[in-house]
Structure 1
Amino acid sequence: MPLIDINNPEIIKFLIENYQKNAKLRMRWNTINADKLQKAATLQREEKGYQYTDVLKASITSGLSALSKDYKSDARNRRLKAINDGTHIPAVADMRKGHSIVELGLGNTKDDPRLGRPDTDLSIDPIMRPIDPKEKKILHKGRPDFGRVEYLKKRVRTIPEDRYYFAETSNWIYGWRLKDSYLGKKAHGPEHGRVWHLAREKSRTGPSPDPIHYNSAQRLSNCTV
């Protein structure tokens, strides 16, 4: 169905007449039913002045009867004892041991009293090792020979494994606790020992000359190229 041309004067006249006719019909209906409209818009019942808290109180009160019935019916279950599946329930004291810093040999309670905790203590293990009291005194003395900057300079000279119990960054993994490895325990033998020379030869990198006991190449015959 094609749309009406609203620019056509005849169409415009037709629309205006229909709008006016519709408005007159609405006005006539409102005039005839004015009494009914006034009666519907007026509050006929007595106003009780309820507040929001009154509505909440009424909703709670209506559910109290059901709550009291449930309380009476559950009285028998409350007197029963809980049934345990086992005679012993594992607790903190039954946790697997052998993984503490002291038991791993990474520290002792004399140097760090924080490690001497009971088995029931679930606090986190300390991250840093105890700081030398001599280094701590640097912080409390005046500058320029002492102070925070000098303390950090002194502290950075200590290797990370002497400051921390575990490698806290991925960069510390390389060379971490190298003293516990084969090279740290056995390679430091006598200066002219077999193991020490072997470690020194293996640690050499890049091109290197032949050992002294290697003989130079010899010509086997005149035909050798």
Structure 2
Amino acid sequence: MPLLDITNPAVIIFLIENYEKENRLRLNWIHKHREQIQQAATLNREPTNYFETDVIAHNMIAGMATTTRDHIVSGYNRRKTPLRDAVFVPGVKDLRHGHSIVDVGLGDPKDDSRLKRPDDDLSIDPIMRPVDPKVNKIIYKPRPEFGKNKYLETRSKTWPEKKYYFSECSNWDYGWRMKDSSLRQKPMYGRCWHLHRAVRTRVGPKPDPPYYKSSDPPGPTKIVNI
């Protein structure tokens, strides 16, 4: 919106008329609400002599009836016998009963002596499985054929599910204990599967199709007479 040209006589007349109209409306409003404005400005009201404690006490008295009612109801409910959903309510000492590593079939006390614990033992279950004694001896043999580096290299080739009882990170969720699944099947596109299918097929192994071979380079080609 362009700015008004205050040097224009028509604009000057327009502004003066609007200023006078606004002043007239303000005076009318003040004259109409003169008594309310004077009462609010002078605070000529009837004194109540209320203190802050009086206001708090008024709110407390209003809630005393509710407090009394709740006290009577709670006293009646405390005398009731609580309903039990089951005859036996398990406690902390029963948490491991039926849910330990041995009970769910993830470990055997014969292989890991740490799993031989009573039911009232609430210590934390072991995280890692015991190391194979043959692999454990590598770290104590001389280098360079054995030693720490050879031990770590051998351990890195072991599957995580053979080293841990549970999946310790989200990266292990994919493929964790896949052999236990009833839906597991042999890969149909692996090298061993192709070799097995070629040997067991009725016609025996055959060469690759022609479209698997690279095309002939441009130029004269050899023509084989049949």
TM-score (norm 2): 0.45
TM-score (norm 1): 0.45
